[in-house]
Amino acid sequence: MAPTLLVLEDDEGIRTSLCLALEGEGYDTVGFGLAEDALAELPRLRVDLMLVDLMLGEMDGFTFIREVRQSSDVPIIVVSARDDTHDIVAALESGADDYVTKPFQVKEVSARLRALRRRPPTVARTAEAEISVLDSANGPLVLDWGAGVVRRDRDEVHVTSTEFRLLCELNQPPGRVLSREVLLHRVWDRDYFGDERIVDVHIRRLRTKIEVDPGNPELLVTVRGLGYRFDQR
């Protein structure tokens, strides 16, 4: 079954062209011009991925993404003509997984979509390998590889699929330092040295979810000049 892609773009011409082009790439597309309409229809749609513009109507793309993230971890790519650093970081901190600036090539967007649909890194299919437990001052943090979820004790910690892949990469094995370039390639499937801000923003978001004190992280540790390390404590 073809994956369903929601395209939220207020320019009808761009929206139609993008939907047609991505249908040629193997997606079933559903397009919306207003964020309010897209939110109203989401409960009845089985959406696998989203492309979201930022400059919309009364509800902008930032607000739409935050609303979606209240209940869904569906991969979201922002496509926008706004290329200011503040806008890019704000979109990622709202919950977007990736950011593409206009104008863009459809093949590039398709490649980004494929990368976000990749499954988390695989490990040996044994009961021991499917669950990784990290101790912390706030109780054990459990990465359930098989289910693709994170739990603090028995409570599930809501993370996006991209955040989960990031945790998995940093946890193979824990204690190893990975550079931003390596994480960008492994998690976002970039074959070039792309914008490393996307890694930094996702690390910050993860810290707010799994650290006792995000300002003084004990699990997701920055190694100055080298990258990030996932410590077990």
pLDDT digits (tens, 9 = 90+) for 6-61: 999 999 999 999 999 999 999 999 999 999 999 999 999 999 999 999 989 899 99
Task: Name all domains of the chain by residue range, CATH numbers in brackets.
Answer: 4-117 (3.40.50.2300), 127-230 (1.10.10.10)
Task: Give Cβ neighbours of residue 84 (< 8 Å, ≥ 6 apart).
Answer: none
Q: What is the pTM of this model?
A: 0.76
**pLDDT tens digits for 164-218?**
889 888 887 778 899 998 998 888 876 544 577 889 999 999 999 988 888 899 8
pLDDT > 90: percent of the chain = 39
Kindly state the tokens that stand for 100.
């593409």
Helical H segments across the chain, by residue range: 12-23, 35-41, 61-69, 85-94, 106-117, 127-130, 161-170, 180-188, 197-210
Give the other-Cβ count within 10 Å of 109's Cβ: 20
More confident residue, 80 or 120: 80
* Per-residue confidence band for 84, with pLDDT thresholds at 50, 70 and 90: confident
Among 84-93, 137-146, 189-198, top mean pLDDT goes to 84-93
| Whole-number pLDDT of residue 61 | 93
**Residue 75 burial (10 A CB sphere; 0-12, 13-18, 19+):** buried
Kindly state the tokens that stand for 105.
């090539």
| Whole-number pLDDT of residue 137 | 65
Give the other-Cβ count within 10 Å of 176's Cβ: 13
Give the containing element (helix H, strand E) for 220: strand 220-223
Task: Give Cβ neighbours of residue 52 (< 8 Å, ≥ 6 apart).
Answer: 8, 61, 64, 65, 76, 77, 78, 79, 96
Nearest to 120 by CA among 82, 76, 172, 71: 172
* Per-residue confidence band for 124, with pLDDT thresholds at 50, 70 and 90: very low
More confident residue, 123 or 207: 207
| Whole-number pLDDT of residue 122 | 41
Q: Backbone phi, then psi, for 144, in 5-degree steps? A: -95, 100
Q: Please report the sign of the dihedral spanned by the C-alpha atoms of residue 221, residue 225, residue 227, residue 229.
A: negative
Q: Backbone phi, then psi, for 217, in 5-degree steps? A: -65, 140
| Whole-number pLDDT of residue 191 | 56
| Whole-number pLDDT of residue 190 | 65
Q: Which of 41-50, 89-98, 138-147, 158-167 has the lowest mean pLDDT?
A: 138-147
